[in-house]
Chain A
């Protein structure tokens, strides 16, 4: 998951629900020829920046999780884990969420800090 050319923000979050819905909405506008694709790319790059900043500044929540690691992969500075029977503990263990499996895609925090 490479950082964008001009700005050093990952486009990782585009794969999340917020990013994918934005992409969908942009696609709709492009399909209707209301905007051109270059403008949509600019929107997405702004999104990369905003969500990265928002997650680091606005969010204070902590989380711990345990599970059994099914697959791991480290490629191009990106860790990908597939964890099975995973248990997430949030709010200091107050709420617990379990899932059969979860996929973690994680980029290096250092590189995004360098900017």
Chain B
């Protein structure tokens, strides 16, 4: 008998009951959706009791890895500059800093995306990137492109280079070279951004073509670093635009783009809400809640509070206005009155016994079952129980058979 079995058994029972009463619902002309609502409500209430893990409850699981990695780049973009490495790697692996500077139409020219990234990187952001092994980053960044093979990646790089050459001619020579190198040398994209070391390194590598061959083995890995190229060969700009754009939109707090939420005002017109407005709205609601609680709950006279509990929140709000004034005198009286009542000997035993019984059921330490045998020898009891449900210590158990021995 384990707690784990409860979930499946209860689900079975719920489904059986729902199916069994479907006919009754139809006969009564009640819509099927109501039945579904009943089931949902039932399950929801059960879940709230928290007595067991139910199959319909969302299980506390980590999100599937594929999803997590797909989100990585955008999530990272939203964070501080230090975590912008992936974005930076993308953009700068496809386009060297020179290109970014040269081409105004290039996303690198966008103030929020690449521009910020490049500026903020040299100090803090990029250092870790340099040290980081590209091999370790790849699986994290591009698990969705495992199928890239060397041929495709190489082709893509070439096409990208050609596209740049077509567009910018000899001006872009440096970046074309950069692309070639980056295909073969994974470390570069990380190193590219920081102004002082990068250009030199790149130039060095431009000159030493043997080095490229020497590092061809790394190329396969590199193609995974530029995963979108195979998909959009010959379009390096849009590609990097995608990458840059993510950063630009997500962390662009200072743009003119203010609206975060739309809400409808009293007339039903949609109103755009900026962050400040949302904050203010939330603050106002919090204050209102706090006031309600103050006036409508703890600080009210006991009698009124219990009276209001049966009423709806409407009356509670009304009380919020008048509550604080009333509360001084009566409250203490009520307390004293209660204490007096407890002191009465006549009231005492009965009250307590009632409380006890209620507590047993309310706190839920209860076993509901059928009995086969109940035997007693003097003060020793033995019983055989079956088909029971036991709720104890906030957990629920079901059993087919139970033997109990106890002394009176």
Contacts and interface: CB of A to CB of B under 8 A. Distances in A.
A6 interface: no
B283 interface: no
B140 interface: no
A39 B46 contact: no
Interface SS of chain A: mixed
Nearest to B30: A35
A71 to B, nearest CB: 9
A91 to B, nearest CB: 6
Contacts of A42: 21, 24
Interface residues of A, number: 66
For B2, B13, B20, B21, the residue with the greatest tally of chain A CB atoms inside 10 Å of its CB is B13
Interface stretch (B200-208, B223-231, B246-254, B366-374): B366-374
Given A83-B406, A109-B371, A112-B370, A22 B385 contact: no
A61 to B, nearest CB: 3
Nearest to A70: B408
Interface in A22-41: 22, 24-26, 28-29, 34-36, 38-39
B13 A18 contact: yes
For A66, A79, A102, A112, the residue with the greatest tally of chain B CB atoms inside 10 Å of its CB is A102
B46 A17 contact: yes
B314 interface: no
Given A39-B24, A55-B400, A21 B42 contact: yes
Interface in B106-134: none
A55 B371 contact: no
B175 to A, nearest CB: 66
Interface residues of B, number: 62
A13 B368 contact: yes
A107 to B, nearest CB: 5
A88 B30 CA distance: 44
B365 interface: yes
Interface in A84-111: 86, 88, 90-91, 95, 97, 99-109
Contact of B17 (A22, A83, A99): A22
A61 B46 CA distance: 22
B45 interface: yes
A105 to B, nearest CB: 5
Interface string B1-42: 110010001101110110011001100101000100110011
B45 A34 contact: no
A22 B38 CA distance: 8
A43 B41 CA distance: 14
Contact of A64 (B12, B388, B404): B404
Interface stretch (B156-164, B212-220, B390-398): B390-398
B381 A69 contact: yes
Contacts of A52: 387
A3 to B, nearest CB: 11
Contacts of B9: 54-55, 58-59
By Cβ-Cβ distance, the 5 closest A-B pairs, closest first, are: A61-B1, A25-B41, A21-B45, A109-B370, A55-B387
Interface of A: 10, 12-13, 15-18, 21-22, 24-26, 28-29, 34-36, 38-39, 42-43, 46-47, 49-52, 54-56, 58-69, 72, 74, 79, 81-83, 86, 88, 90-91, 95, 97, 99-109, 112
8 contacts: A16-B391, A17-B46, A25-B41, A54-B16, A55-B389, A55-B398, A55-B400, A97-B397
